[in-house]
Amino acid sequence: MDIVTAHTSQLPDAELAAIRALLTDAFEGDFSDEDFEHGLGGMHVLVREDGVLVGHGSVVQRRVLHRGRALRTGYVEAVAVRADRRRRGIGGRVMAGLEAVIGRAYVLGALSASEEGAALYAGRGWSVWPGRIGALGPGGPVRLPEEEGSTYLWTPPGGAVPDPAGELWFDWRDGDVL
């Protein structure tokens, strides 16, 4: 098994196309161009077996406003494992690489989990955010109650531990905000 961590700028077009194909297959076609865009511009963890891309995840910087402080947050995106290689620890290897990046570069990790992915994150110490969630949109603050219960946080050693009584306000982006 070969594991590589690289910035988007270091990935050739053919590699980005392979990542896109993996994500399309892993999410059974339910992975939009905006979803793909959200996973670019940061660090990627790629897992290959016998030269074939079987796992991927990325972490991009976002700002999360909490109690008047903008937290530099490593937001996990585009985590996927090829269907025929699941339940073999590949997702854990992807997450370990992403957590290493978060631990070195951010005060907080965050992600929005699918029902299928929630167990992976919870098993690695990520916790469901119990409070309110919103985004700072172009027209002002927008509550995102549909994201409550599926947004997970991870705090690296020395990172920021948000007060669960407070709200998390994510920076805005096109498509799915979280």
How many Å apart are CA 122 and CA 95, to the nearest integer? 12
Question: What is the pLDDT averaged over residues 111-136?
Answer: 94
Does the residue 178 lie in any domain?
no
Q: Is residue 96 part of a domain?
A: yes
Whether residue 73 contacts residue 108, with contact meaning beta carbons closer than 8 Å, is answered with yes
Question: Using CA atoms, how far apart are residues 103 and 155, in angstroms rounded to an integer?
Answer: 8
Compute the mean pLDDT over every residue in the chain, rounded to the nearest whole number. Answer: 95
- Structural domains of the chain, count: 1
pLDDT at residue number 75? 98
The predicted pLDDT at position 87 comes to: 92
121 located within any domain = yes
Residue 116 in this model has a pLDDT that exceeds 90: no
- What would the 3-class secondary structure string for 83-128 be? HHHCCCCHHHHHHHHHHHHHHHHCCEEEEECCCCCHHHHHHCCCEE
- The pLDDT of residue 96 is 98
> Does residue 177 fall inside a structural domain?
no
Res 34 pLDDT > 90: yes
- 2-22, pLDDT tens digit by residue? 999 999 999 999 999 999 999
Instruction: Specify if 143 maps to a domain.
Output: yes
Q: Is residue 30 part of a domain?
A: yes
Residue 161 pLDDT: 83
> Is the model's pLDDT at 178 over the cut of 90?
no
**Domain CATH for 36:** 3.40.630.30
Domain range spanning residue 104? Answer: 2-171
Q: Is residue 61 part of a domain?
A: yes
Is it the case that residue 160 has pLDDT exceeding 90? Answer: no
Residue 176 belongs to a domain = no
